[in-house]
Structure 1
Amino acid sequence: MNPPPPVTSDPNEAVTPETLRKDYEAGATVDELVATSGLSYGTVLNRLHEAGTEMRTSWQTRRMRQDPQARRRLAAHLRTLYEKHGATLTELAAGAGETRRSARRLLIEAGGTVRTTQQTLRIRAAARAAERHKLALSLRARYEAGATVPELATDCNYSPATVYRLLHQTGTPMRPQHRHGPARRDGKRP
């Protein structure tokens, strides 16, 4: 059986289940109620249950205490990163200083839908292909402006074979290769 409610600093106000519930629903945690009421943890929980209080999880309490506008902005930002840039939940969590679970929760709050791993891999592959095509077009423009394949390879830190492959993928008309062997006496190449 629970002990009678202790008297607070105001002798007319006892710590009743209803006052505990009111404070809890205003955002106080059970630990804070224990500290302010002088009751044990179990007694506070019992009185909250007795008053019909719907209990929160710790993350619900944190969310309740956060600035709702800031939370909505963060959720919208994470959704943009996730949907437009193909970020993973792990990357979202690292960028926001959250856990994967909370990043997922924020994404769903912002109206996003969570992708499967295969969907993420397809998005990433498409993004890499688009970047590679963009690079190939850039190489083509520079090649047609007079740059040589070895110069392009050095600038891009690719092998000449990779540069040739990228140029061929964009349909670049290739210049004839020069023979750099020794010249013959009659001025003709061997």
Structure 2
Amino acid sequence: MKPRPPVTSDASKAVTPQSLRKQYEAGAIVEELVTASGLSYGTVLNRLHDAGTIMRTSWQTRRMRQNPQARRHLAARLRTLYEQHGATLTELATAAGETRRGARRLLIEAGGTVHTTQQTLRIRAAARAAERYKVALSLRARYEAGGTVPELAREHSYSVATVYRLLHQAGTRMRPQHTHGPAHDPRKRP
């Protein structure tokens, strides 16, 4: 004898995992979803799981309900730090006063996606390169205004070689070097 499939009403089919997830992420708790949907506790949990919902602890729910706008603002700030500045989850946790898992949750709540270590390293390298290029452009402007390489090196606490490299990266047309020895006639060969 074959077991019969469980009887489900049309109303329970209308409650999609995505709609449950949206309500849950807005601050509803599982018990409230059970009451509103008419589904069993286990079915609500299964549908939340099917939608890829990251579950909160009870203290996280209490904290979220105390000030949901502040939580959204914090989550958005963490996402900006993560995506534009290459911050790690550990750095986000420190900034938010959370655990790494909590910071990850906030990041996902803000619509961010978690990067692999390699992606984070690439983002950081790109940010450093962009910063170096800004410095190179400012050195170029000072050099073209008449500054000398040794002066620029002292002002920025760089070595002369670093200033030359940055000027080269910025595409600076270098002035001819001065000779500090005795004057010589270029037509005469020694």
Three-state SS of the structure 2 residue aligned to 1:158 is: coil
Query: Could you list the per-position Cα deviations for residues 109-156 of structure 1 after superposition, in whole angstroms to 9, with x for gaps in the alignment?
Result: 111110011000000001111111111111111001000000000111
- 1:175 aligns to what? 175
For 1:81-96, list aligned pairs within 5 A: 81-96=81-96
Bigger relative contact order (CA 8 A; separation at least 6): 2
Corresponding pairs, count: 134
Shift of 1:99: 1.1
Which is worse superposed, 105-114 or 64-73?
64-73
Conserved 8 A contact 2:89-2:100: yes
For 1:91-170, list aligned pairs within 5 A: 91-170=91-170
Aligned mates of 1:149, 1:143 — CA distance in 2:
7
Conserved 8 A contact 2:150-2:160: yes
Give me the identity figure in percent.
81
Aligned mates of 1:114, 1:87 — CA distance in 2:
11
Three-state SS of the structure 1 residue aligned to 2:178 is: coil
- For 1:107, the aligned partner's letter is L
Alpha carbons of 1:175 and 1:60: their partners in 2 closer, same or farther (altered >3 Å)?
Answer: closer
Larger Rg over CA atoms:
1
Aligned mates of 1:140, 1:91 — CA distance in 2:
34
Shift of 1:65: 4.8
Shift of 1:68: 1.6
Aligned mates of 1:172, 1:159 — CA distance in 2:
17
2:53 equivalent to 1:70 = no
Runs of 4+ in 1 over 2 A off after TM superposition: 56-66, 187-190
Shift of 1:64: 5.1
Alpha carbons of 1:176 and 1:91: their partners in 2 closer, same or farther (altered >3 Å)?
Answer: same
RMSD value, Cα = 2.4
Shift of 1:180: 2.1
Q: TM-score, normalised by structure 1?
A: 0.63
